[in-house]
Chain A
Amino acid sequence: MKRGMLITVLMTCLLCVAGLVTANQDDVQGSPSCKYCGMDRAKFAHSRMLVTYDDGTKLGTCSIHCLATDLAVNIDKTPVAIEVGDYNSKELIDAEKAFWVIDGSKPGVMTKQAKWAFAKREDAEKFITENGGTLATFDEAMKAAYESMYADTKMIRERRKMKRMQGASGH
């Protein structure tokens, strides 16, 4: 009887965890790669973003850089929700309520100047203590994404060209 209950409890826990993981990764399943750069959103779950527009459409990107591009392209839609993957848990959180860290020693996604989001302030501060960077709001992170976009676009173009050349010479 006791053993049966233990199995039931364990199974329930397992299902809950599975449910949570599935729910967290729902957007990744919906758009496994970034619309703009094609990068794997499961690999970049810690920087991925999801925007929901007023017409109900959703768009998944790998980073705030590609989200900034989308917001500049879709000028006839208004974003109603912007979510970002929490750097630690990878869970999608409200980008406007998140604690952002700009810069630091960890290489950024699609940018030289990294931008990371944290659900908890203490996690952001811990990251800064360990890796440097400065605490910022979503608005400041967005502004920084646009400001570094010119240099970033040039850098990304060069990097991808090199990769293509290396790929071609490898065949």
Chain B
Amino acid sequence: MTRNMLSAVLMTFLVLSLAGFALAQEDVKLAPSCKYCGMDRTKFAHSRMVVTYDDGTKVSTCSIHCLAIDLSTNIDKTPVTIEVGDYISKRLIDAEKAYWVIGGNKPGVMTKQAEWAFANKVYAEKFIREHKGFLATFDEAMKAAYESMYTDTKMIREKRKVQKMQEAEKK
């Protein structure tokens, strides 16, 4: 009896986890690449973002950098929800309630100064202990994304130019 119960609990846990994972990846299936840079949103599931505007439209990006571009482009729409991939589980979470970490030694996505989101404060603090950076709110992370956009845009442009040249040489 106890063994049966244990199996049932394990099965339920497994099914729920798989369902959760499938749901978490739904936005990636719908938008596999970033609207702005074209980067793979599965590869960058830990930094990807989804914004839902008041007219019901959604825009999916690889990072807070590309989300910031979208927010400055779509000035006639108001964002009603902004979600971000949790750095640990990759599940989409409310960006405004997330615990953000700015900086640290892990290379950022589309930026020199990384910005990561965590559902759990404990994991954000653990990340800071291991990789440095500092705890921030969504508002602070957004501000930082805009502030580094000038140098980031220059850096990305150069990086992509070199990549293109290398690809052309291979052909």
> Is the beta-carbon distance between B150 and A75 smaller than 8 angstroms?
no
A136 / chain B contacts, CB cutoff of 8 Å: none
A78 / chain B contacts, CB cutoff of 8 Å: 157, 161
Interface centre among B73, B156, B160, B161 (most CB of A within 10 A): B73
Partner pick for B146 among A76, A146, A157, A164, CB 8 A cutoff = A146
A157 / chain B contacts, CB cutoff of 8 Å: 75-76, 78
> Is the beta-carbon distance between B146 and A150 smaller than 8 angstroms?
yes
> Is the beta-carbon distance between A160 and B149 smaller than 8 angstroms?
no
A84 to B157, CA, bound (A): 22
A150 to B145, CA, bound (A): 9
Partner pick for B68 among A145, A150, A160, A161, CB 8 A cutoff = A150
Nearest Cβ in chain A — how far from B108, in angstroms? 15
Knowing A150-B143, A153-B72 are in contact, say whether A76-B160 is a contact too (CB < 8 A): yes
A interface size (C-beta, 8 A): 23
- Decide yes or no whether A59 CB sits under 8 A from chain B: no
A149 to B78, CA, bound (A): 16
> Is the beta-carbon distance between B75 and A160 smaller than 8 angstroms?
yes
Partner pick for A75 among B68, B72, B75, B160, CB 8 A cutoff = B160
- Binary interface encoding of chain B residues 147-171 relative to chain A, with 1 for a CB under 8 A from any of its CBs, else 0: 1011001001100110010000000
- Decide yes or no whether A42 CB sits under 8 A from chain B: no
Nearest Cβ in chain A — how far from B7, in angstroms? 52
> Is the beta-carbon distance between A161 and B72 smaller than 8 angstroms?
no
A45 to B130, CA, bound (A): 52
- Decide yes or no whether B71 CB sits under 8 A from chain A: yes
Partner pick for A142 among B37, B78, B150, CB 8 A cutoff = B150
- Binary interface encoding of chain B residues 75-111 relative to chain A, with 1 for a CB under 8 A from any of its CBs, else 0: 1101000000000000000000000000000000000
Instruction: Supply 12 further A-B pairs (C-beta < 8 A) apart from A36-B75, A71-B153.
Output: A69-B73, A73-B69, A76-B164, A78-B157, A78-B161, A142-B150, A146-B150, A150-B146, A153-B72, A157-B75, A157-B76, A160-B75
